[in-house]
Structure 1
């Protein structure tokens, strides 16, 4: 389903249907997913459609900038790095483009949104919540529902640490996709037993993957590198 198309096509997959059809001088877009529908009218004589996964933090109405993935607790030895694979929820963006300009006209998801609070009630942040199994090799998944995070956990301390969650901020997310995989790479540096820094990495899990259009990056101008790192100061377990 992911990829680039002309302004005249239809895709059907289970209960999802996406159609672009020319009607005189305009193009009509329609999307149905279960009981949810979207229709748009586009005045364009050319261009293309891009369908790709986007940061899973847009529905409904950008409640939060943070994705929290909880997983089975892992105890990591001192001054060691361990790589694990986690899943994350997928949102799908429909873009129209012509020359160097593009516009997102629809975002939807095949998973319900769940939210949590990371940190104290007075100073914590609302997060998009997702529970994931832990894998040590690339897990099987349906890329229309979930993606895979390749997470390197770096224990910089001289003691054992226990980790059971990671929080990622939207501005740093770099999502890549092909027809069989949606993925991100991320790093979590544990600097104290209760504090860690997280960031996403601009690199695909495997060769040949296409980089998704970043909704949050295009909405923001002049972000420094420090803005792409999140400090988890309310615990890692």
Structure 2
């Protein structure tokens, strides 16, 4: 279902149905998922529909811009680099495109949203919380529910460090997809026993994958520069 479409199509995946149809000079959009439906009327003669996996931080109503993935603790030796694979929840965006103008008209997910607090109550941040198994080799989950994060962890310290979570900010999140897989690549650099920096890598997990449209670009504040990494100051376990 991911990809580009014209203004007249209907695709189904289990209990999910997405349709565009012409009604005289207008376009009607319909999305059904379980017992919930969304319908919209679009005034457009021609254009492109994009159905892409998007940053899993939009439902409900942009509660947070931070994704926290918790996993089984890993003890990492000093001054070493290790690569693991984790899963993350999928949200799906439906966009309209005309020339260079892109408009989001719907976002939905098959995964329930859970939230947590990273850090103390007065200075911490709300995160989209997700528990993942740890994989030594790339898994292949259902791309309508979960994506795969390839995480490279670099322990720069001279001591052993236990890691059991990674927190990322939506800025810089790069999602790629094909028919079988949704993926991201990320880095975690441990700079102290309890402090790490996380960032994303703008590369697909395998050749031939397409890059998703990035929702966070539409929410950037003009003239305000953002860091390309997030500093985890409240611990990595």
TM-score range normalised by the length of the shorter chain: over 0.9
Q: Which moved more, 1:226-235 or 1:60-69?
A: 226-235
Q: How does 1:48-197 map to 2 (within 5 A)?
A: 48-197=48-197
Please give the per-residue CA displacement for 1:31-62, whole angstroms capped at 9, x wherever unaligned: 01012111110111111100000000000000
Q: Give me the whole-angstrom Cα distance separating, in 2, the residues matched to 1:200 and 1:223.
A: 20
SS in 2 for 1:216: helix
SS in 2 for 1:227: coil
RMSD: 0.9
What is the CA-CA distance between 1:228 and the residue it aligns to? 2.2
TM-score w.r.t. length of structure 1: 0.98
Does the 8 Å contact 1:157/1:190 carry over to 2?
Answer: yes
SS in 2 for 1:198: strand
Match of 2:209 in 1: 209
Please give the per-residue CA displacement for 1:17-36, whole angstroms capped at 9, x wherever unaligned: 00000000000000010121
Query: Which residues of structure 2 form unaligned runs of 5+?
Result: none
What is the CA-CA distance between 1:140 and the residue it aligns to? 1.8
SS in 2 for 1:60: coil
Please give the per-residue CA displacement for 1:202-232, whole angstroms capped at 9, x wherever unaligned: 11111111111000023214554x5221100
- Correspondence 1:38 to 2:38: yes
TM-score w.r.t. length of structure 2: 0.98
- Kindly report structure 1 stretches of 4+ aligned residues shifted beyond 6 Å: none
Q: 1:51 to 1:223 in 2, by over 3 A?
A: farther
What is the CA-CA distance between 1:169 and the residue it aligns to? 0.2
